[in-house]
Structure 1
Amino acid sequence: MRQINKGAEPGELTQWKAQNRALPNYCYTSLAAAHRLAVRTALVTEQRGLCAYTGRRIDVENCHIEHLRPQAHCGIGEDVDYRNLVAGVPAPNTPQLPYGAHKKADWPAVADEHLFVSPLSGGCAARFSFRLNGEVEAADSADNAAVETIARLGLNDEALVQLRKAAIAATLQIRGRGPASIGIADARRRLRDLERAEQQAGALEPYSFVLVQALERQIRRIEKIREARG
């Protein structure tokens, strides 16, 4: 999970709120298609083209607007609060996925929000540890919220694990030289490129936060081998 830094809500949503705040239908379902498009566009931009929960590539056509606090548990106005909105796979009216927003469904209830690691929370990325086989676990086994979030979002669903594994393998492998064959100089260069991209504008690579961890692991592995050889 990559930390999302929320920006200002789109002007179309601000204008809609000003016009509808006093009306009985002041809720997300009353937003017109144009308002939702403006919101999705803003979300995809601030999320750097990555799904809020999975890290998959998204654009305005293949994602939907997800509520961090589920609509079922929102009070008046909370379901149109821009800070409660993120973008995630898949697009509306498409087959259910066994992970991400579909898996999360109406979790968490307000009483369980302490068990949800939100992508808006500071340091959220460091609470998850990705293995080279694509699986994810809590960085601290005592972090009950991270453990619960992984389960509730289905982050170890086999299909999603395989997507991450493929991205990791492509990053660590030098063509024709087998798995995890990238050298330390190339690994450091690739890591710097990913870190530099975080500081710049524009879309990020899918699973970029996973690839950073994979490269750091590879660098540490090579350093240990060198140390052992003296």
Structure 2
Amino acid sequence: MIYIKKGKEPDSLTKYKKQKFAYYDGYKEKDDVREMLLKEQGYLCAYCMRRIDINHMKIEHWFPENELSDIERLDYRNMLGSCEGHIDGTNGKKDDTCDSHKSGDKITVNPLDNSTLCSIKYNSEGKIYSDNNIIENDIDVILNLNSEKHLLKLNRKSMLKQVREELCKMQKRGIWGRNVLEKVKNKYINADENGYKKEYAGVAIWYIDKKLNSVTIK
């Protein structure tokens, strides 16, 4: 999970909200919202960071829809792009992730608020966790981000291996210097020329930041 910088809402949404009795289900241009969310998030799920596209995503309300008024449900600042969070043939909601598992629950961790992300860590097996008990419950229980069925830990472990190999190719001997670490980090922070960020980039950024905090050489 990484910080998402919120942009301007789609013009069609701004226009629709000016109508009398505007409500979320009455807004028919939701693909405009989906496209904007995809661009903001580098075509990654806001929570698990797997790849999403306009035909395979959900518009997630970070603060639960069932506690919002009609007009509040149209607040773009509360919207995130989430994966569908379900695999056919799995055990229903128990094996779901992200918005599909969260359902109407409230969470504290928020990709739009960097202060809620600073306690997030990963281990060598790709598990995402936090020493903050509230954030840990959000991550592991409510969002189910360590789901075995969805191979999330395995995919993050593979990303850790990838970033280590990339660093080794750039500097085969000695301690990785700050310049090397920052150069590789930028590849995971920034989107490519098509607007796509790397899947599971959060674990790579965390790993590099950990190295940056301990390095003293350029």
Task: Give the structure-2-normalised TM-score.
Answer: 0.79
Partner of 2:39: 45
Which amino acid in the other structure matches residue 82 of structure 1? Y
**Identity of paired residues, percent?**
25
Summarize the Cα distance change of 1:197–1:88 in structure 2 as closer, same or farther, 3 Å threshold. same
* Amino acid in the other structure paired with 2:99: A
Paired residue type of 2:135: A
- Find the partner of 2:206 among 198, 202, 213: 213
Would the alpha carbon gap of residues 53 and 200 (structure 1) be closer, same or farther in structure 2, given more than 3 Å must change? closer
In structure 2, the residue matched to 1:104 is 102
Task: Tell me if structure 2 keeps the 8 A contact 1:188–1:219.
Answer: no
RMSD in angstroms over aligned alpha carbons? 3.0
Matched, 1:121 2:113: yes
- Cα 1:165/1:199, change in 2 over 3 Å: closer
Rounded to whole Å, the distance in 2 between the matches of 1:197 and 1:98 is 26
**Structure number, greater radius of gyration:** 1
The runs of 5 or more residues in structure 1 that have no matched partner are: 109-114, 224-230
Q: What SS is found at the alignment partner of 2:204?
A: helix
Determine the C-alpha separation between the residues in 2 that align with 1:8 and 1:82: 8
Tell whether 2:18 aligns with 1:28: no
In structure 2, runs of 5+ residues without a counterpart are none
Deviations 1:118-151 (A, max 9, x none): 111123332200112100111xx2x232122112
2:160 corresponds in structure 1 to: 168
- Are the counterparts in 2 of residues 100 and 153 from structure 1 also a CA contact under 8 Å? yes
- Looking at structure 2, the residues matched to 103 and 133 of structure 1 have their Cα atoms a distance apart, in angstroms, of 23
Whole-angstrom distance in 1 between the partners of 2:113 and 2:187: 22
Higher helix share: 1
Cα distance in 1 for partners of 2:118, 2:145 equals 15
Alignment of 1:67-86 (within 5 A): 67-86=61-80
1:48-105: CA deviation from partner (whole Å, max 9, x where unpaired): 22211111122222211111112111123111110111101028x9746621111111
TM-score with structure 1 length normalisation? 0.75
Q: What displacement does 1:188 show?
A: 6.2
1:12: Cα distance to partner? 0.9
Aligned pairs, number: 202
How far apart are the structure 1 equivalents of 2:65 and 2:163?
38
Q: 1:132 to 1:214 in 2, by over 3 A?
A: farther
**1:136 to 2:134 alignment:** no
1:214 maps to a residue whose letter is: Y
Q: 1:17 to 1:219 in 2, by over 3 A?
A: closer
CA distance in 1, matches of 2:12, 2:74: 12
For 1:14, give the aligned amino acid: T
Alpha-carbon distance in 2 for matches of 1:199, 1:162:
23
Task: Give the residue type in structure 2 aligned to 1:60.
Answer: I
- Whole-Å separation in 2 of the counterparts to 1:216 and 1:125: 13
